Amino acid sequence: YIWMISIVAALGGLLFGWDWVVIGGAKPFFEPYFNLPSIAGKWSENGLARLLGLTTEASLSGWANSCALLGCLAGSLLAGGLSDKFGRKKLLIFSAFLFGLSSVLTGWAGTFNQFVLWRILGGMAIGLASNLSP
């Protein structure tokens, strides 16, 4: 029983570390795949993108790397109420499923916006698991 609790506790931190290591290794591949300079040129005409500073290749690459943190924030904020309602075990299982799903969908993303969306969803799973695991 103690071993199982220890493994579950370690998996919460493992998800967070895994996500950061994987995105760092994928960076040289997703930048040319999504043609970030072209997207930056299109987004430079968008007022919101200009306001957020997402108008250069470097800023879009940074956004792709860090967007999961928004999901982590949302997942952490939702974890308390959801765990009271559904229980920690069910929510941890759900977060593992959500993380796996977002990993697959991130790999299948056809556009940069889809890529960011699935990264944010994965971040939510990490935020849930980080808050729920001891």
Structural domains in the chain (count): 1
State the pLDDT at residue 130: 85
In a domain, 40, yes or no: no
Q: What is the pLDDT of residues 10-43, one digit of tens each?
A: 776 777 777 778 888 899 999 999 999 999 988 8
pLDDT at 61 over 90: yes
The model carries a pTM of: 0.88
Q: What is the pLDDT of residues 67-121, one digit of tens each?
A: 999 999 999 999 999 999 999 889 988 998 999 999 999 999 999 999 999 999 9
Domain extent at residue 113: 12-34+68-132
Q: Which residues contact 34 (CB under 8 A, 6 or more apart)?
A: 111, 112, 115
Q: Residue 15: is it exposed, middle or buried by C-beta count within 10 angstroms (0-12/13-18/19+)?
A: buried
- What is the identity of the amino acid at 28? P
In a domain, 62, yes or no: no
In a domain, 26, yes or no: yes
In a domain, 117, yes or no: yes
Please tell me the distance from the alpha carbon of residue 52 to that of residue 18, in angstroms, as a whole number: 27
In a domain, 51, yes or no: no
